[in-house]
Each structure stands twice: as structure tokens, then as C-alpha cells.
Amino acid sequence: MKTIQVTIIYALSEIQYIKNIFIKSNSTVKDALLASNLYNTVQNLNFYKNNVGIYNKLVHLNKQIKHGDRIEIYRNLKIDPKERRRNKYNSLKNIKN
């Protein structure tokens, strides 16, 4: 059976995990994630709590992958972007006063 190469990516603010793996050509996103062994390396990483995507498009775990795909594991935001901008604005406003 033919093998393909895919990249698994999970980025935290302090460290990025990038794994290139070879896997059977008819594999799914879930198969690739399991083969990467990333879930045993990174604490609090869970198939069912973290969304996954291929090239920034959300996909299901049963999506079939292709050679060269970049499978991204997304994490929840620590703060809402609007709230972050609001906080930044308020802190800058306080400096000026």
C-alpha cells in the first residue's frame, strides 16, 4: 500500500509541536493524529475537546487525508480578541492620563 507524508501541528504560546509522519494513503485525520503520538506527549490534549483542521479549515476526524496535508490542532483562546483589544486600549488610555 502507498504511503503519504503529512504534518501535524499544535502551537502553544511558549512551544510549537510539529511532527512529520508517514502513513497509509487511505488514512483519516484521526489515524494521523494517533500515529503522531502527540496526544501522549502534550498534556490536556483531547480529540473531542480540541478542533482540528487542514490548512485552516475545520474538518472532522473521519476526513480522509492527502499527501502534504497540514493537520492543525486548535486550542481554545485564553481571552476573547475583542476583550484583549479593549484591555489594551484601556491600559494605553490610563498611561496617557
- Report domain extents, the chain: 3-96
In words, the CATH class of domain 3-96 is alpha beta
- Nearest in space to 39 (alpha carbons), one of 68, 73, 63, 16: 73
Say how many C-beta atoms besides its own lie within 10 A of residue 21's C-beta. 19
Our CA dihedral for 29, 18, 43, 28, rounded to 10 degrees, sits at: 10
Task: Please give the model's pTM, rounded to 2 decimal places.
Answer: 0.77
Per-residue pLDDT of the chain (97 residues; tens, 9 = 90+): 799 999 999 988 889 999 999 999 999 999 999 999 998 888 878 877 889 999 999 999 999 999 999 999 998 777 777 887 887 888 877 776 5
Cell of 68: 502534504
Q: Could you tell me how many residues make up the chain?
A: 97
Alpha carbon distance 93, 97 (integer Å): 7
